Amino acid sequence: MTTTVLLADDQALLRATFRLLIDSAADLTVVAEAANGAEAATEARVHRPDVVLMDIRMPGTDGLAATEAICSDPDLARTRVLILTTFETDEYVARALRAGASGFLGKDAGPDTLLDGIRTVAAGDALLSPTATRHLIATFLEGPVLPSAAAGRAVADLTPRESEITTLVAEGLTNDEIATRLTLSPLTVRTHVQRALTKTGSRDRAQLVALAYRTGLIRPPA
């Protein structure tokens, strides 16, 4: 199955470069382009891509506002947003994840990393670069954990195994790494992760990670 991609970046040269790279992969194809956030939201509704490769700083409606518009649209529930930017700051990382982004990569990522990142978020997994992960943890370290009542109930509904696996997801482990650590099959781990996503109402692993920190299921390292 071919993964469809929408490119959103205000620089035409970068869009052309990304298109050439993505279309060179047999399992990926670019279906549309957008030069700003408003166009990205519109094109997403028209083409319903699997992944939107989204820049943050664009004229008019920026990438964060476009991400929120796309991720809050019920008709685009299957569309994932991968943020690709040079600005991996605390504010941008936190806002992107709150808006519903499934991944965050710096523009210094290599070609293979970018292509694998698209595949990762298309599969429903979260993708955070090491820099973005550090910023995300730093954001949680800045203030107290104040979970909502609904979030607390959602975490309380997790089984001990689901809670254990959720904490490992929040630590950044892949399904295969979790399977090795717990002596389980990757399929069993994926099943537990999916149940945790369903019970907590999380769109994807990125939201599950945020929930784990927000509710105190896992504590950021000192």
Domain shared by 50 and 119, yes or no: yes
Average pLDDT rounded to a whole number, residues 144-160: 70
Could you tell me the pTM of the whole model? Answer: 0.69
188: containing domain: 145-214
Structural domains counted in the chain? 2
Domain shared by 130 and 175, yes or no: no
> Which tokens sit at 40?
């990205």
- Work out the pLDDT band at 145, boundaries 50, 70, 90: very low
For tokens 């537990």, the residue is: 192
Domain-embedded: residue 221: no
Q: List, for residues 40-56, the tens digit of each pLDDT value.
A: 999 999 999 999 999 98
DSSP of 194-210, one letter per residue? HHHHHHHT-SSHHHHHH
Q: How far apart are the first and last CA of the chain?
A: 43
pLDDT at 33 over 90: yes
Domain shared by 154 and 129, yes or no: no
Mean per-residue pLDDT of the chain: 83
Domain-embedded: residue 222: no
Domain shared by 125 and 34, yes or no: yes
Q: Which residues contact 127 (CB under 8 A, 6 or more apart)?
A: 82, 102, 103, 104, 105, 117, 120, 121, 206
Q: Which residues contact 69 (CB under 8 A, 6 or more apart)?
A: 37, 41
Average pLDDT rounded to a whole number, residues 166-190: 87
Predicted pLDDT at 146: 45
Which residue has better confidence, 57 or 133?
Answer: 57
Q: Are the C-beta atoms of 84 and 114 separated by less than 8 Å?
A: yes
- Work out the pLDDT band at 95, boundaries 50, 70, 90: confident
Average pLDDT rounded to a whole number, residues 59-69: 92
> Which tokens sit at 135?
């910023």
- Work out the pLDDT band at 132, boundaries 50, 70, 90: low
Give the C-alpha separation, 124 to 21, whole Å. Answer: 22
Predicted pLDDT at 144: 47
Cα–Cα separations (whole angstroms), residue 25 to 30, 36, 83, 214: 10, 25, 20, 38
Q: Phi then psi for 103, rounded to 5 degrees?
A: -155, 165
Predicted pLDDT at 91: 65
Domain shared by 172 and 78, yes or no: no
Average pLDDT rounded to a whole number, residues 65-73: 93
- We report the CATH number of the domain holding residue 207 as 1.10.10.10
Q: List, for residues 197-208, the tens digit of each pLDDT value.
A: 888 887 777 778
Of 70, 79, 73, 49, the residue nearest 204 (C-alpha) = 79
Domain-embedded: residue 126: yes
